[in-house]
Amino acid sequence: MQKQIMKAYLLTTILVGLYSCNSNDDFVTNSTEAAAQFKVVNVTNHDGRPFSTGKLTNIPSGRYVENPGGGVMMQAFYWDVPAGGTWWNVVNSKITAWSNVGIGAIWLPPVSKAQNGPFSMGYDPTDYFDFGNFNQNGTVETRFGSKTELESLITKVHAENMQIYADMVLNHNSGGQLENNPFTGTQTYTNFTGVASGKFKRTSADFYKNAYGNNDEGIFGGFPDLAHVAPNVQDWLWKRADGVGKFYKNTMKFDGWRFDYVKGFGAWVIKDWNANVGGFSVGELWDSNVNILNDWANNANSSVFDFACYYKMNDAFDGNNLNVLNDDMMWKRNPYKAVTFVANHDTDEIWKKELAYAYILTHEGYPTIFYRDYEEWLNKTKLNNLIWIHNNKATGNTSILYTDNDEYIARRNGYNGNPGLVVYINNSSTWQERWIQTNWVNAQIKDFTGNSGWYPRTQADKWVKIQCPPNGYSVWSINM
């Protein structure tokens, strides 16, 4: 096999050499066998950051390092992961492999004890300080495991130079005891004074309706609705040194937060949390209106999931109308506060996921990969390739070069010595070719996905012809 690889590599070199002597050819073909066997090596550019040479090597990539294109997040769970307290160990076993392919952060489900005990996915929180170390709600461990296993996972993530984000459910609680509620004149399940940790004890005064009002922005599922205006709630969630936020960050060592159902309370809650606690934050604001997403992100001083992008991708790739990718999205409006995604534990509507991942991993924003897409459903090798492209080539702002119902071509314009890329997405059943204008003068380029064997050279006016396979994508950059 090694001799076959070397023969393929020598053939590539000969073909490229022949091509460089023939300026009349639009392109040359190239064997992709060598590219399938080796990883692409990173060297250091003039400002000290990793930069792709496009050369081939069999040297492992090692632990995750921050690259010019930024990071990639893994949603490290799905709805109804196996119960039985094994999930933290399952995720732990995958961290090194994820780091090696370029994943920079993982997002965990809610880590504290919830009403449904060993069967809960955590979105019905009872005791924010029970990480699987108290006998409460019918179990000691959470659905995902013990506190010790969680701490081991966090330690492993940091050892691999990655970050870890906690899913925070701040809108509502569940699992309280009945008490007489003077604000409703009835009995309500709002007595949390008996939580096993003894921390963040709550009563009806801490839930709507109460002395501060009848309600806030939203109620979820009929659960008791936390009143963030109540001093006790603010103190225990984000102000106290031993409160939820600071304990999670300083003692448990979480690096950031995914905030659940932020429609249920004011953006000022997240703004205050971020000001007092710090760390990365992203809000789940389930709305396709870019104005609403952007206003919330600015008011909360937080990133937000780009639901506008999500629904446009669904319309584009499954609805066979790539023209809608010209429409406004959060990553276009505010790329530094946009977290893009193709699927998650709540919604999984896009069928042509490979095209969608090619889109978010080559465009601006902070892309998220869904656990089941990566580990179970899609081609992991292709996703790893897109992660590498994102980390090493997806730099600079974006220029859309061409769209129609079936084709989409965009250029990342590069930044600080990194040449950027051109991504070509083809939603039709046949190969497509287009002349496009790059940022590169008289430069040989190649498709870093290996889907095309062309090695075209850009002209003096930066124009070049590229191609894209049916129902697929290609990603072009300087071959150096």
- CA quadruple 368, 143, 112, 157: dihedral positive or negative? negative
Name the β-bridge partners of 297. Answer: none
State yes or no: 171 annotated in a binding site.
Answer: yes
* Residue 187, CA distances (Å) to 190, 191, 201, 232, 267 in order: 9, 10, 18, 21, 30
Terminal-residue alpha carbon distance, the chain: 26
Strand-pairing partners, residue 194, are none
Q: How far apart are CA 334 and CA 336, in angstroms?
A: 6
Whether 8 contacts 34, CB under 8 Å: yes
Q: 372: part of which helix (H) or strand (E)? A: helix 371-372
Is 181 annotated to bind ligand? no
Q: Which residues pair with 42 in a beta bridge?
A: 52
Catalytic residue among 151, 284, 315, 318: 284
| Helices 267-276 and 290-300: angle between axes, nearest 10 degrees | 40
Q: Active-site residue 141, yes or no?
A: no
For residue 463 the two structure tokens come to 């124009």
Whole-Å CA distances, 373 to 77, 100, 134, 256 = 11, 18, 34, 23
SS3 261: coil
Query: Taking each helix axis from N to C terminus, what angle separates 353-360 and 380-393, rounded to the nearest 10 degrees?
Result: 20
179 carries an active-site annotation: no
What would the two tokens of residue 35 be? 């590219």
> Which of 141, 149, 225, 260 is labelled catalytic?
260
* Alpha carbons within 13 A on the beta-carbon side of 46: 4
**Residues near 199 by beta carbon (within 8 Å), at least 6 away in sequence:** 127, 128, 129, 236, 242
Distance CA 314, CA 428 (A): 16
Rounded to an integer, what distance in angstroms lies between the CA atom of residue 95 and that of residue 153? 9
Using a 10 angstrom Cβ sphere, with 0-12 exposed, 13-18 middle and 19 or more buried, the burial of residue 129 is: buried
List the catalytic residues. 260, 284
Binding region for Ca(2+): 171, 235
Q: Would you list which residues are annotated within the binding site? A: 171, 235
